[in-house]
Structure 1
Amino acid sequence: MKLRALARLAPVLVGALLGTGCVTATVDEMVFNEPLEGVGDAGVVILGRRHASDYETEPDFIECIGKHIQRGDSSINVIGELEFLNALYPWFEPRTAPLRPADIDRLMAQPPVAEKLATLQTEYLVWVDGSTVQTNSAGSMTCGVGPGGAGCFGFGTWGNDSTYEATIWDFTNRAEVGRLNTSASGQSYMPAVVVPIPIIAPVQGTACDGLGDQLLKFLSSEH
């Protein structure tokens, strides 16, 4: 009887916590040469930096930014990361990818690279560097099986921090034309009254929205 009563109480506790964790976010923008008419018929590719040994920029985060931009302006041609990497292999592998805008000249001097960039109509390249990490955790939880059934009891919490930087390269002018920074942090919860129910703070999604909005402002003709 007590087990069933606690089970009925669980949704109430979840509702009291509003269903999601708390998130705070900031976005810093430093644009040097904003296009006046958007991308037009050209394309933009968004790539994640994966040169560090202790982390990589998550592919799903890169995909999230691309979808966010296309939802905001369907006229923007966002070239898929995997499609671009396969077409330009091995020039954008971690060991060979350009690290500075000055490296664009070296790339364009390679006829196969210049030809493929022209075929894909790539005008802008957005490098995204960063990751989402878990920062702390606390609480405890126990699970067991009794005469009335199985259940878990306890409470856990953990934090996540997202920090990303987007650097925009212009292949036409062979220069860096903009830089954006976004950070988000949040606290997630796991209350357990018979059934553990995670209440996740959408930290990475918030960072994606913040960075996507600023890139959309830069790239879109719908100002």
Structure 2
Amino acid sequence: MRTGYYLIVMLIVGMTLGACTTTTIDEFRQGDTGIDSSESIVILGRRQGAAYSTHADFVECVGNRMGRGNDAITVVPEQVFVDALFPWFEPRTAPMRSEDLQQLMAQPLVTDKMSEFGIRYMVWLDGQTETSNRMGSISCAVGPGGGGCFGFGSWEDDSNYEARVWDVSSHTSVGTISADASGQSYVPAVFVPIPLIARVEANACNNLADQLKQFVKGD
């Protein structure tokens, strides 16, 4: 019985060490950047109707991360910005290229709202997290003497996101940053399931936000 207990502990420890993520950040700069304390940015998720959308939670995560710390940047919340500039940033009408920004800024209401918010950069986030390679199974049963779960499950998560940075003052694209995070999660079950989750999307958010902050500051 003691041997079985040690095997269970070793399995859980091994899986905990394995439930980690690998994150790769790539940056492509097309122009000079810089921002002062009176300016802000807005981060928008790419959406194409109901068929495809960048999760609002991920967009919010990146914005919150950039808005914290000693070197924080003022980030206008996505929904506040979209509502204020309705309908120009709805999925069907939002600009798809930086060249469209100049035409958009010709609208007096858009120009006024951009100035009101102090927007210097618009960041378009595009991407998603996909789960694959699900393996194993867990079964649970209840009997007169009690109940429990037994089995083992695992899966892989892969987060791929790309951020395109547009300079509102020059109506140009100044760069692109991409984040690719992957990891393996496990759920061993010996009486009680113990999920050991790789924080793939959280790592992609944190690393992308930190790189974006350096990028717009011109570091």
- Report the Cα distance in structure 1 between the residues aligned to 2:163 and 2:113, rounded to whole angstroms: 23
User: Which moves more between the two structures, 14-23 or 110-119?
Assistant: 14-23
Deviation at 1:102, TM superposition (A): 0.9
State the alpha-carbon separation in 1 of the partners of residues 70 and 164 from structure 2.
20
Whether 2:81 is the aligned partner of 1:104: answer no
Question: Is residue 18 from structure 1 mapped to residue 20 from structure 2 by the alignment?
Answer: no
Structure 1 contact 7–193 (Cα < 8 Å) conserved = no
How far does residue 29 in structure 1 lie from its aligned partner after superposition? 0.4
Which residues of 2 match residues 90-129 of structure 1 at below 5 A?
Answer: 90-129=87-126
Bigger shift: residues 37-46 or 207-216 = 37-46
Q: Secondary structure of the residue that 1:33 maps to in structure 2?
A: coil
Cα separation, partners in 2 of 1:11 and 1:34, compared to 1, 3 Å = farther
Residue deviations 1:161-190 (CA, integer Å, cap 9, x gap): 111110000010010011111111111101
Equivalent positions of 1:1-223 (< 5 A) are 13-18=11-16, 21-35=19-33, 37-51=34-48, 54-220=51-217, 223=219
Distance change (3 Å), C-alpha of 1:47 and 1:39: farther
Identity of aligned residues (%): 46
TM-score w.r.t. length of structure 2: 0.91
**What is the distance in 1 between the residues matched to 2:127 and 2:72?**
28
Q: Distance in 1 between matches of 2:56 and 2:143?
A: 43
1:95 to partner: Cα distance: 0.1
TM score, norm. by length of structure 1: 0.89
Look up the SS of the partner of 2:135 in the other structure. strand
| Structure 2 unmatched ranges of 5 or more | none
Whichever residue aligns with residue 108 of structure 1, its letter is M
Q: What whole-Å deviation, never above 9, does each CA across 1:85-133 have from its counterpart, x for those lacking one?
A: 1111111000000000111111111111111111111110000000001
> Once the 2 structures are TM-superposed, how far is the Cα of residue 143 of structure 1 from its aligned partner?
0.6
Distance 1:164 1:75, change over 3 A: closer
Instruction: Tell me the SS of whatever aligns to 1:71.
Output: coil
Helix, strand or coil for the counterpart of 1:119? helix
The CA distance in 2 between the partners of 1:84 and 1:110, in whole Å, is 16
Residue 45 of structure 1 and its aligned partner are, at CA, apart by 0.3
Give aligned pairs, total.
Answer: 218
1:137 and 1:158 in contact (8 A); partners too? yes
Amino acid corresponding to residue 50 of structure 1 in structure 2: R
Letter of the structure 2 residue corresponding to residue 165 of structure 1: E
Other structure's SS at 2:209 match: helix
- Deviation string 1:28-48 (CA, Å, 9 cap, x unpaired) is 10012232x434311100010
Deviations 1:130-174 (A, max 9, x none): 000112200011110022212110000011111111000001001
Give 3-state SS (helix, strand or coil) of 1:18's partner: helix
Q: For the residues of structure 1 that align with 2:9 and 2:144, how far apart are their CA atoms?
A: 23
Q: What is the CA distance between 1:66 and its match in structure 2? A: 1.0
Distance 1:215 1:181, change over 3 A: same
Deviations 1:181-206 (A, max 9, x none): 11111111011111111110111011
By how many angstroms is 1:219 displaced? 2.2
